[in-house]
Chain A
């Protein structure tokens, strides 16, 4: 399984972004106490607020997908739902959530679920030269790609700090894409977004995907959580 490169928040572990933007995350987090609702828009406005001159920070997303890989049944329905809701077709490669499996590995190392973490630091947004990958304030600050502005440089794909990039190249429509918490799902009748439903979570037969508005702990433990309760134990599966 690919190893996630996520580390506890620390500016020394950040990849150097494009020359005109530098992000110093430690001071920012210290400054706002980690709640992330601070409406910092970067640039000149940021200089007028609590932050050092060279800090550009992003408002935190108001929604995060959490998964439980020990509960996952590896059916890939979440992947099919994602591609169907967004693109109207079934295509695992166009899914913004990916499930990897090794059929011969011992549980729980046989599966991993690679969902976008809506990173507070949003490196995929930071590197985008056109603003295609942007903070969508109208949709709870979800990190989202405007396909019309994408020039296909794929810096976002490279910038994802996780082993398997959550920013993905849509080779059929020729633009980058990523999880938008179902803010825009033209082929699904349910309302998505941070106050709505998410296709992957809605279809998961076992309830291995959940949604939270709180920023998770910024490592694997924050995003791969325990969603198994007593009803799961009734099925003779472990709850630890």
Chain B
């Protein structure tokens, strides 16, 4: 079986047993998210389940056939799914994802993924050495932060398997496999143990699955960690083709140190292995790059200071703004903050949104000892190391305000009686399903908000967003962006099969934001994301490669490259459009699950402030450039200053549901749509529940 290992590990934590699920039945779903959703559908009988802490909740951790292979920036990521505890008002069936080397080791151990159900009666951790799976007592690990827990496991494993000549034998036989590597571990910290919605999963120093509160989901199952080490092989259908494709990518599409660096290019495939850092000041001393397995160019670093290893992007921004505001410059407070969040296993996005909210509450005069939001937190110290240590301690151990926040910032706001006012005026910047803004305000970056509310969470897919950054950085420096707005719109929309050819799909102008073209953009984005990003597991930092400044024509490799890699590994001739179509099928399955959980189009609404207040500014100021077409002319226009018109958006939602083939009164999938995709059994279950779209 090329790419796949043929086996999925099914853990029953209640009985502390495991069994093997044959991957063959699920290969039609591709990998990652597709297989995860299909598994959830099969394993969870009562799909009204909307409590992430319910023992019947099934959490899947799924690789793709590309995991552990040389496919650039598609080797290292792993998809996590299940019912979360973060979203509001309903804990939707949701997803998260983390990078590093866990996925590769799981494949080398002979597994395509893991499905976890039940709840252990005492803390356990799971150890996987190839096909040997052991439930181990986590008494000595419970209470440890994510770094100490991993170190303790490695230490214990080294004692049991000391190795010789620098190689660890996997069994008593010399032919049982050997390795130089340490096991790859995913673990929770104190936040997850204490069932806080801020709790996330952490692997190595800085790989995290943050959204959804899966740290608490693990904690609720009394599952501390999963360790995996493998010495097996991933079979490759055409090794020479994989090799050639990798080298072509490196030599023709990616940046290699020494060549001219494209100016003002931010994210995307061609960019350098410079770490993505948003803090104002880096830790003292030197650093070297670090990346997930197989990455074409990494996005983070390890530091001589020994702090904040593998931190990247938003987590480096999380406390940076407050730090600078307090001190006039960046300090060590930012590095200590991110290091501590990774150690305690705390979702940095939720912290970011939460601190912004607490700051707003303080400005309103309602936060403090004895006030409406009663806490001993001293907001005057926001930005200091002492503040963040105190706050994170409260969150991890549910002390003081941490107890109210344990169900998420938005539920805390409801509990304090503040929700209606604060979600109305935007001081609670949580626009979709109780999740914090990603910095890309839904009123400005259209596909971000639309896609998030039509799904289960902040989409966190930067496919079009990178190009905003390229324009922002160039224009901020007084330069022309490397691609004109028209070039950008043409190149991108040409790749958006099956809707290619409609450039209005990239017109972010206000008079176009409720158009059928935007229905196509959002639909395409979800379909593409559900398969190529979340199932095949091409990393969001490097794909899609839409516009590539290394190329004379600026056309990136996406659309052509992904099928070449897929075929080289699996032998399967899936086209780019086939993958997008499979993504549509997966998206429909997810919507079926949400429908059974109780979703109706009337619930699918962004936060009030999105409809009632103009977005005059965003995280970085009052300039947010996006391609806009007017009277046949394309330019990068500043879209700050607008809101979403609720009436027009509801009309747009109808267009979207029609395009997807869903009942536009309820938002539920119809039998006709499901049947065309071979999902009659899904239609049957919806019908039985009285939730089939279009049914009389």
Contacts and interface: CB of A to CB of B under 8 A. Distances in A.
| Binding between chains A and B | yes
Interface of A: 2, 70-77, 80-81, 83-85, 87-94, 98, 100-108, 110-111, 114, 154, 157-158, 160, 162-165, 168-169, 171-172, 174, 187-190, 199, 202-203, 205-207, 229, 231-232, 234-238, 240
B291 interface: yes
Task: Classify the interface of chain B: helix, strand, loop or mixed.
Answer: loop
A89 B233 contact: yes
B288 A90 contact: no
A51 B678 CA distance: 79
B243 A187 contact: yes
B147 A104 contact: yes
Interface string B284-305: 0111111111111110011111
Interface string B241-275: 01110110010001011110100000000001111
Would you list the 8 A-B pairs with minimal beta carbon distance, nearest first? A164-B166, A89-B233, A106-B306, A103-B204, A187-B239, A165-B165, A73-B289, A238-B286
Contact of A206 (B204, B289, B310): B289
Contact of B287 (A107, A114, A163, A168): A107
Interface stretch (B177-185, B611-619, B668-676): B177-185
A111 B516 CA distance: 51
A75 B292 contact: yes
Nearest to A235: B274
A103 B310 contact: yes
A110 B285 CA distance: 14
A76 B229 CA distance: 15
B96 interface: no
Nearest to A76: B293
B236 A84 contact: yes
B584 to A, nearest CB: 30
B70 A171 contact: no
A81 B287 contact: no
Given A76-B104, A89-B235, A90-B233, A107 B295 contact: no
A84 B243 contact: yes
Nearest to B274: A235
Nearest to A240: B286
B70 A80 contact: yes
A92 B147 CA distance: 24
Given A93-B177, A163-B166, A237 B236 contact: no
B101 interface: yes
14 contacts: A89-B233, A92-B108, A93-B108, A103-B205, A103-B310, A106-B305, A107-B288, A108-B288, A171-B175, A189-B243, A206-B256, A207-B258, A231-B259, A235-B272
B257 A231 contact: yes
Given A93-B231, A103-B309, A171-B177, A81 B243 contact: yes
Contacts of A102: 182
Interface-central residue, B179, B257, B309, by most chain A CB under 10 Å: B257
Interface residues of B, number: 74
Given A162-B166, A205-B273, A237-B289, 17 more contacts: A90-B70, A100-B181, A101-B182, A103-B206, A103-B302, A108-B286, A160-B165, A163-B165, A174-B175, A187-B243, A203-B250, A205-B291, A205-B295, A205-B296, A206-B297, A229-B257, A235-B289
Nearest to A85: B243
A73 B236 contact: no
B207 to A, nearest CB: 9
Given A206-B289, A207-B257, A106 B303 contact: yes
A104 B206 CA distance: 9
B9 interface: no
B108 A71 contact: no
Contacts of A2: 166
Contacts of A172: 233
Contact of B179 (A83, A87, A92, A240): A92
Contacts of A158: 165
A202 B247 contact: yes
Contact of B240 (A75, A157, A188): A188
Contacts of B107: 90
Interface of B: 68-70, 75-76, 101, 104, 107-108, 147, 150-151, 165-167, 174-182, 204-206, 231-236, 239-240, 242-244, 246-247, 250, 254, 256-259, 261, 272-275, 282, 285-298, 301-306, 309-310
B304 A232 contact: no
A187 B246 CA distance: 14
B70 A77 contact: yes
A205 B256 contact: yes
B173 to A, nearest CB: 8
Contacts of B177: 93, 171
A212 B234 CA distance: 32
B181 A92 contact: yes
Nearest to B258: A231
A75 B167 CA distance: 20
A108 B240 CA distance: 34
Contacts of B310: 103
Nearest to A90: B234
Nearest to B247: A202
A165 B168 CA distance: 11
Contacts of B287: 107, 237-238
A171 B230 CA distance: 13
Contacts of B178: 93, 168-169, 171
A199 B240 CA distance: 12
B298 A73 contact: yes
Contact of B108 (A91, A98, A103): A91
Contacts of A171: 174-178, 231
B151 A114 contact: no
A157 B165 contact: yes
A70 to B, nearest CB: 5
A159 B519 CA distance: 66
Contacts of B76: 75
A172 B175 CA distance: 7
B243 A205 contact: no
Contacts of B233: 83, 87, 89-91, 94, 172
A164 B304 contact: no
A238 B272 CA distance: 15
Nearest to B306: A106
A106 B290 CA distance: 12
Given A165-B165, A203-B70, A206-B257, A75 B298 contact: yes
Nearest to A87: B233
A165 B163 CA distance: 11
Given A75-B294, A205-B297, A164 B289 contact: no
A8 to B, nearest CB: 21
Contacts of A165: 165-167
Contacts of A85: 239, 243
A84 B239 contact: yes
A161 to B, nearest CB: 11
A75 B542 CA distance: 15
Contacts of B236: 84, 88-90
Contacts of A174: 175
Given A171-B177, A187-B240, A234 B291 contact: no
Nearest to A93: B231
A232 B259 CA distance: 10
Nearest to A189: B240
Contacts of A188: 239-240, 243
Contacts of A77: 70, 246, 293-295
B294 A76 contact: yes
A196 to B, nearest CB: 14
Interface centre among B107, B290, B305, by most A CB within 10 Å? B290
Contacts of A100: 180-181
